[in-house]
Structure 1
């Protein structure tokens, strides 16, 4: 059985030979494993990024590859007027901010002046482009998409690995785009005071993301991850989730499924109070399911409630188990997760959220070994 076949079977609730293993990695963790690669090149250059993803899969013997960035711009340096090295770190200077590149984290944006967000009252929703041309990776950090070359990375990866491994794409929730545009605090106030205009804005973003997801599914990929990190209980209530997240993510999920592609929602932190609502979206899978203390999900309870409605991708604690835990704790925790997760199929062994930057390589390499020892069917 090929790694790709293994993941496909798990996503379809068919029993593979063993539980597949595939983790999302933080950019910081990726760079820690690729000391020969420039953080700037890894972020901007499609060839460097593709080769890095392939090497990382080889290091950990994962069954699939997640592509979190796409649409790399060939002449990206045109957006910057200066590049320097400060305190041993590459720094790129743009129009209103500089970007500091480290090996431990995402590029860090530092604004020259206090960042000002547009208010929902002053926003003309028609001014929002109908075609999505950026990924809101983090606060103040956008990854620009080349609209004429959105999916080169997928073609490049498939040319290099063929059908051996499961390739997954990624789009971002409309809720994230709203938070990024308005600013977190202003956005939460706007949800209360200007709820209808917020819904119009969410729909505007949704239309663009639906188009992007539809086109992405024409690539040789098996699944699309819907990144929705701020939709957990630590940020919004179940009522707000139903009103401002569920209707819009459901539209994206619908078009992905219509293309015959699997789709899973990635929401960090506490989601125990909204698992059933997440199923209502029509998703075929859920990623993370953070256990305590980072979240509040108990895997046996989640398996019971989710049943065979959605597959699970999770739910190893990257911090308390893999970063701070010793070998004995790692083996104990992961073995327990495997034994619970493998019941009735529909399970991919993964960290709950992304692998923390400073997790030791050997702590991730053991996951494949544990899957082979305890995760067979």
Structure 2
């Protein structure tokens, strides 16, 4: 990938959350292999983003051991909550954090005020350590109008300039 000009690699892990496997199984069966992928990406001169689906409360510190340049976490749903403020405190600038704005409740179905409030809050949280990217916790849904995505981008630009 690096040879053809790719700058970074998205490493997605949707099968290692607390609802899927124990912390011990994560440490034994997932962590070493994801760490190896991140290491190879770095060795090739690229950046890595580790996207983790599901509850991370019992394993966020282990996610940081992967050594990715950034982590991206799913938004709160499926009976768990991921507060980006809590994530920011735990990570404490050790890597970049991608925001986890809710792509359904906020982007697709929320009001413009909901969107502005959430984007503004996540940016303010991210400013503490300066390693933050405004992002969604899950992909944009097919039901989300293109105009709404434009509003999201504009809100991020506006709030980021404050």
Once residues 36 and 43 of structure 2 are traced to their aligned partners in structure 1, the CA distance between those partners, rounded to angstroms, is 11
TM-score by length of 1: 0.41
- Counterpart check, 1:317 vs 2:102: yes
What residue in structure 2 maps to residue 362 of structure 1? 147
Residue 349 of structure 1: aligned partner: 134
Separation (CA, whole Å) in 1 of partners of 2:140 and 2:63? 23
> Higher Cα Rg: structure 1 or 2?
1
1:256 equivalent among 24, 27, 41 = 41
Cα deviation for residue 331 of structure 1 reads 1.6
Offset, 1:304: 1.1
Counting only pairs closer than 5 Å after superposition, residues 80-229 of structure 1 correspond to structure 2 as: 216-229=1-14
Q: Distance between the aligned counterparts of 2:79 and 2:96, measured in 1?
A: 21
The verdict on how the C-alpha distance between 1:329 and 1:338 changes in structure 2, with shifts beyond 3 A counting, is same
Indicate the SS of the match to 2:58: helix
What are the superposed Cα offsets for residues 206-245 of structure 1, whole Å, 9 maximum, x if unpaired? xxxxxxxxxx222212210111112212211211111110
Q: CA RMSD in A?
A: 1.7
Q: 2:55 aligns with which of 259, 270, 276?
A: 270
Q: CA offsets per residue over residues 298-332 of structure 1, 9 Å max, x none? A: 11111111112111112101111112212221221
For residues 11 and 130 of structure 2, what CA distance do their matches in structure 1 show? 22
Which residue of structure 2 aligns with residue 282 of structure 1? 67
Whole-Å Cα distance in 2 between the matches of residues 240 and 277 of structure 1?
A: 12
Pair 221,241 (structure 1): closer, same or farther in 2 beyond 3 Å: same
Q: Deviations over 1:260-286 (max 9, x none)?
A: 211011111212221110111111111
- Contact 1:269/1:294, CA 8 A, preserved across alignment: no
Structure 1: 5+ residue runs without aligned partners?
Answer: 1-215
Aligned counterparts of 2:109 and 2:91: Cα–Cα separation in 1: 30
SS across alignment from 2:99: strand
Aligned to 1:312, what secondary structure does the other structure show? strand
Distance change in 2, residues 1:348/1:295 (3 Å):
farther
2:15 equivalent in structure 1: 230
Structure 2 Cα separation of the partners of residues 245 and 274 of structure 1: 12
Could you say what secondary structure the match of 2:134 adopts?
Answer: strand
Asked if 2 retains the 8 angstrom alpha-carbon contact of 1:288 and 1:313, the reply is yes
- The whole-number CA distance in structure 1 between the counterparts of 2:71 and 2:115 is 23
* Residue 307, structure 1, aligned to residue 92, structure 2: yes
What is the count of residue pairs matched by the alignment?
162
Over 3 Å counting, the alpha-carbon distance change for 1:228 and 1:371 in structure 2 is same
Q: Report the secondary structure of 2:161's partner residue.
A: coil
Which structure 2 residue ranges, 5 or more long, are not aligned? none
Higher relative CO (Cα under 8 Å, sequence separation at least 6) belongs to 1
**Alpha carbons of structure 1 residues 368 and 323: separation in structure 2 relative to 1, 3 Å:** closer
